[in-house]
């Protein structure tokens, strides 16, 4: 059933046309991810859907009695409100009069929020975002509209939200930069590009394939138009007389071909290397401790950064991640211990707030405050040229900072940080408000950055892509080091209690909630958990038995490599089929389901491969010493 239909929407902000006669619709139960470069109008589209803004032209038709809840990118609360006040605001009605406060109390408990009487003004950014989430989902709703819902959420809460939205039975429209989140939840992707809205069925991975096909088709159509136009112009230049009706129609077709616009070339952010030489001494933390009152954040932590370290810092909201960065950047002093910064170290600190930006300045004035000319790996360029590389055209360069979108401000702030030519980049939640295209370019830039990168982030994809070591806050001031990226850390960290983990990740928000897809039994393709799931647990009782493969395990060990190779080939073939049948949505839907099934089986096979090989290594070591 159609919940909302938008026709010929046009919306102009300052001098930018965000939407240009755009059409789209929302069907019952759809989960739609909205993507696009910062400043293209993603947040504006959400506000139009939520009824908070009106289009300049066009119309939006909503279903009768449609209930919509909207989560803004930066929630605004009454400064005197309590947590309870903020959660139940606009949610009380005749049907829930007697239960709403109990439901709100349940939400407070499940989301790990402070007490109901706590003032909103005393909460951290992550806690305020959780309050806003609770407010958005407290009452039953037909359509959820979420603008960057994972911003400021720690990994545990982001995972809870992912599970909740997977189970959510209403329709969902969201803007998010979190690619794992987007890929896991979305059933359709819409992209805003130069005022147009393009729709792609499926998840984020499918969108990438279909977008490439669309762009290739547009390029092919443009080549065909240009070739036809050359032929027609050659005909006209041979002196054909425009006297007959047929000849006049021919000339009209030529004019129509000339007036057609080709595909708009996608703008690409360019990041050039801007850094300085690093000496022998880097950054050394020696027995560093920090506490606020009775709360110990960091206890006796020692680490010396290597010249090309890529370190990610993870932990729940309020554990001390930003505090650690502030101490390294000399904004705070440790209570005990010492932090030594080498003489050649130049730190570029990309903080959560755009505090270095002045709203009354223009973008060009903001950049010229750092320097008129900038030295890069490819030479010296002007501040204006550098702004153009960061997708600020001549018009936008003279736009006041206060008029820029949230993502454009972050991009401008990132430019200022890089202009200082740091050899140490300290990034505090760098993915907040940056569009996916900018994140991909930033990730490539960090690959070649000749220095240290230290990142606090809850974006799992970004951490997997950019870091090689994890510092994890594990409570009571303990900061533990893990080798590898975020996925490696998840595999290696101590496993939480199964009951408590399930209660956080798999339960609904309220005690009366029903279990959905996230709570169903695992796929038939996944192996049942073996009581001997770890090779260590296969150790002998009293030393009387040796480790060995069972007959089934031996057969499985001999064939699992070829099984994995076969599944990888099948997935590659299905990806080719997705591109081939992109316009046949029925066929494409089946291919996507087959690909999901094959990927689930491959994941299970890979987990089994790790188990069997660990067991084989222990058997070989045992036999060698026997």
**In the predicted model, is pLDDT for residue 533 greater than 60?**
no
pLDDT in tens, 388-427: 878 788 888 888 888 888 888 888 888 888 888 899 999 9
Alpha helices in 5-148 (DSSP H): 42-50, 83-88, 100-110, 125-137
The reported pLDDT for the residue numbered 59 is: 93
Which whole number is the average pLDDT over 319-326? 91
| Two tokens, residue 361 | 């300045």
The reported pLDDT for the residue numbered 622 is: 80
Q: Which residues pair with 143 in a beta bridge?
A: 68, 171
Give the C-alpha separation, 299 to 480, whole Å: 11
Place of tokens 């339960």: 507
- The SS3 call for residue 42 is helix
**In the predicted model, is pLDDT for residue 20 greater than 70?**
yes
Judge whether 407 and 38 are in contact, CB under 8 Å. yes
Judge whether 52 and 196 are in contact, CB under 8 Å. no
Which whole number is the average pLDDT over 352-359? 78
- The SS3 call for residue 165 is helix
Place of tokens 């959420």: 153
Give the C-alpha separation, 315 to 471, whole Å: 9
- The SS3 call for residue 95 is coil
Name the pLDDT band for 337 (thresholds 50, 70, 90): very high
For the ranges 89-103, 156-170, 184-198, 269-283, which has the lowest average pLDDT? 269-283
Phi, psi (rounded to 5 degrees) for 99? -115, -10
For residue 291, give the nearest of 337, 330, 329, 245 by alpha carbon.
337
Give the C-alpha separation, 139 to 99, whole Å: 11
Task: Report CA dihedral (453, 433, 488, 595) to the nearest 10 degrees.
Answer: -140
Q: Higher pLDDT residue, 503 or 366? A: 366
Give the C-alpha separation, 611 to 603, whole Å: 13
pLDDT in tens, 126-178: 788 889 998 888 888 899 999 999 887 888 888 888 998 999 999 999 999 88
Name the pLDDT band for 265 (thresholds 50, 70, 90): low
For the ranges 151-155, 182-186, 231-235, 500-504, which has the lowest average pLDDT? 500-504
Give the C-alpha separation, 388 to 396, whole Å: 9
Give the C-alpha separation, 297 to 569, whole Å: 48
The reported pLDDT for the residue numbered 499 is: 35
pLDDT in tens, 82-107: 999 999 988 887 667 778 888 888 88
Q: Higher pLDDT residue, 438 or 544? A: 438
Cα end-to-end span (Å), the chain: 69
Query: Starting from the edge strand earliest in sequence, which strands make up the sheet with 57-62, in order?
Result: 16-27, 2-13, 57-62
- The overall average pLDDT reported for the chain is 80
Name the pLDDT band for 57 (thresholds 50, 70, 90): very high
Within 362-410, strands assigned E span 373-376, 379-382
Q: Which residues pair with 282 in a beta bridge?
A: none
The reported pLDDT for the residue numbered 535 is: 56
Place of tokens 């809870």: 160
Q: Which residues pair with 475 in a beta bridge?
A: none
Q: What percent of the chain has pLDDT over 70?
A: 80
**In the predicted model, is pLDDT for residue 376 greater than 80?**
no
pLDDT in tens, 571-613: 878 877 877 776 565 677 788 778 878 877 877 787 788 788 8
Instruction: Tell me whether residue 570 is exposed, middle or buried, using C-beta atoms within 10 angstroms of its C-beta: 0 to 12, 13 to 18, 19 or more.
Output: middle
């Amino acid at each position: 059933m159609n919940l909302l239909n938008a026709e010929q929407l046009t919306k102009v902000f300052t001098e930018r046309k965000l939407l240009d006669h755009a059409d789209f619709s929302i069907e019952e139960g759809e989960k739609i991810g909205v993507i696009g470069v910062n400043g293209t109008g993603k947040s504006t589209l959400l506000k139009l859907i939520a009824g908070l803004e009106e289009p300049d032209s066009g119309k939006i038709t909503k279903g009768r009695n449609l209930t919509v809840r909207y989560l803004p990118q930066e929630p605004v609360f009454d400064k005197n409100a309590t947590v309870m006040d903020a959660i139940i605001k606009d949610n009380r009605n005749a049907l829930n009069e007697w239960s709403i406060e109990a439901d709100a109390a349940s939400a407070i408990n499940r989301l790990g929020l402070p007490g109901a009487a706590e003032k909103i003004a005393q909460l951290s950014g992550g806690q305020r975002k959780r309050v806003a989430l609770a407010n958005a989902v407290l009452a039953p709703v037909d359509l959820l509209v979420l603008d960057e819902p994972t911003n400021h959420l720690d990994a545990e809460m982001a995972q809870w939200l992912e599970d909740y939205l997977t189970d959510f039975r209403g329709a969902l429209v969201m803007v998010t930069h979190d690619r794992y989140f987007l890929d896991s939840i979305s059933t359709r992707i819409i992209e805003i590009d130069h005022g147009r809205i393009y729709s792609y069925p499926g998840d984020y991975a499918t969108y990438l394939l279909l977008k490439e096909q669309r762009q290739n088709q547009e390029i092919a159509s443009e080549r065909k138009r240009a070739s036809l136009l050359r032929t027609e112009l050659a005909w006209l230049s041979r002196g054909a007389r425009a006297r007959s009706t047929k000849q006049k129609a021919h000339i009209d077709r030529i004019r129509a071909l000339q007036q057609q616009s080709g595909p708009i070339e996608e703008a690409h952010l360019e990041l050039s290397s801007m850094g300085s030489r690093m000496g022998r001494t880097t950054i050394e933390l020696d027995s560093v401790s920090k506490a606020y009152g009775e709360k110990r954040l960091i206890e006796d932590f020692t680490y010396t950064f290597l010249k090309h370290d890529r370190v990610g810092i993870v932990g729940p909201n309020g554990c001390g991640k930003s505090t650690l960065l502030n101490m390294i950047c000399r904004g705070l002093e440790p209570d005990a211990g010492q932090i030594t910064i080498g003489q050649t170290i130049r730190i570029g600190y990309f903080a959560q707030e755009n505090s270095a930006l002045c709203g009354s300045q223009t973008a060009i004035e903001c950049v010229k405050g750092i320097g008129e000319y900038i030295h890069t790996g490819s030479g010296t360029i002007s501040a204006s040229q550098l702004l153009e590389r960061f997708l600020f055209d001549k018009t936008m360069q003279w736009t006041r900072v206060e008029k820029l979108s949230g993502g454009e401000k972050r991009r401008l702030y990132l430019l200022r940080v890089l202009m200082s030519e740091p050899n140490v980049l300290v990034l505090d939640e760098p993915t907040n408000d940056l569009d996916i295209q900018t994140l991909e370019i930033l990730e490539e830039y960090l690959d070649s950055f000749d220095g240290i990168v230290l990142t606090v982030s809850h974006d799992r994809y970004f951490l997997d892509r950019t870091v090689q070591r994890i510092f994890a806050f594990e409570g009571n001031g303990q900061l533990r080091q893990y080798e590898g990226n975020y996925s490696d850390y998840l595999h290696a960290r101590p496993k939480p209690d199964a009951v408590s983990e399930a209660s956080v990740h798999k339960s609904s928000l309220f005690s009366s909630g029903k279990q959905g897809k996230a709570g169903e039994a695992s796929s038939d393709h996944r192996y049942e958990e073996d009581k001997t799931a770890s090779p260590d647990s296969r150790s002998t009782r009293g030393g009387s038995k040796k480790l060995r493969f069972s007959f089934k395990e031996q057969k499985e060990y001999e064939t699992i490599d070829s099984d994995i190779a076969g599944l990888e080939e099948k997935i590659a073939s299905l990806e080719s089929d997705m591109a081939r049948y992109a316009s046949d949505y029925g066929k494409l839907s089946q291919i996507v389901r087959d690909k999901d099934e094959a990927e689930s089986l491959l994941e299970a096979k890979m987990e089994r491969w790790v188990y069997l090989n660990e067991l084989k290594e222990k058997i070989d070591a045992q036999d060698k010493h026997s």
